[in-house]
């Protein structure tokens, strides 16, 4: 007997919920690249009481169109409501909830760690295991850069907690669907003006 999963928004399998009834979602939005679009979209989430884990915005291969990738954790029903509200914005051309299993996700990390002669080689070994690059070396610190899946970034940071993290910066998730599935295929009723 095969296990059936509950279907979520736009026909994607619903994501597993954690013990608090919340789930992690990645939402991809195509919108006109106008000033103020990102704050308007983020504001819709904020007015519903959601804290966005990350939001990235960049140009696309279509002139005048930007891609926003939003990572958010919350109740499925309320996230669905916000997605429907975002879809109503005039500037929004397409919005998709990305299925984690069929998505390529990446994040960038820069992390500066306190390092002296006694810890430097250990930190370098950890960086090599995670395929991070040492991009700066000072007498009392090392800075590493890592690009990878969010879970790999989390694991790298967990190991580095054994050392003193002086500062860090994460880019936020960027994501694309695997294969030929394409958010860029704009629905006929949402053509670029």
Higher pLDDT, 13 or 80: 80
Q: What is the pLDDT of residues 13-70, one digit of tens each?
A: 333 444 445 678 899 999 999 888 888 888 888 887 777 889 999 888 889 999 999 9
Q: What is the CA radius of gyration of the chain?
A: 19
Indicate whether this model's pTM tops 0.85. no
Task: Return the ∠ at Cα 27 (arms to 60 and 110), rounded to 5°.
Answer: 70
Whether 44 and 78 have beta carbons less than 8 Å apart is answered as no
Burial class of 77 by CB neighbour count within 10 A (0 to 12, 13 to 18, 19+): exposed
Q: CB-based contacts of 42: which residues, under 8 Å, 6+ apart?
A: 52, 55, 70
Q: CB-based contacts of 53: which residues, under 8 Å, 6+ apart?
A: 24, 71, 72, 73, 172, 173
pLDDT at 181 over 80: no
């Amino acid at each position: 007997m095969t296990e059936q999963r509950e279907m979520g928004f736009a026909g994607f399998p619903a994501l597993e919920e954690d013990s608090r009834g919340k789930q992690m979602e990645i939402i991809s939005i195509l919108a006109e690249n106008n000033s103020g679009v990102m704050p308007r979209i983020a504001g819709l989430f904020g007015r519903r009481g959601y804290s966005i884990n990350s939001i990235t915005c960049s140009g696309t291969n279509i002139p005048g169109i930007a891609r926003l990738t939003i990572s958010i954790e919350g109740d499925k029903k309320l996230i669905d409501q916000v997605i429907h509200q975002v879809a109503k914005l005039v500037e929004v051309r397409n919005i998709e909830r990305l299925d984690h299993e069929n998505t390529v996700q990446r994040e960038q990390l820069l992390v500066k760690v306190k390092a002296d002669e006694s810890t430097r080689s250990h930190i370098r070994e950890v960086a090599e295991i995670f395929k991070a690059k040492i991009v700066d070396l000072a007498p009392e610190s090392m800075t590493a850069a890592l690009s990878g899946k969010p879970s790999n970034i989390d694991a790298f940071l967990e190991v580095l907690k054994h050392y003193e993290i002086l500062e860090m910066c994460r880019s936020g998730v960027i994501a694309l669907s695997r294969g030929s599935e394409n958010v860029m295929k704009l629905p006929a009723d949402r053509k670029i003006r």
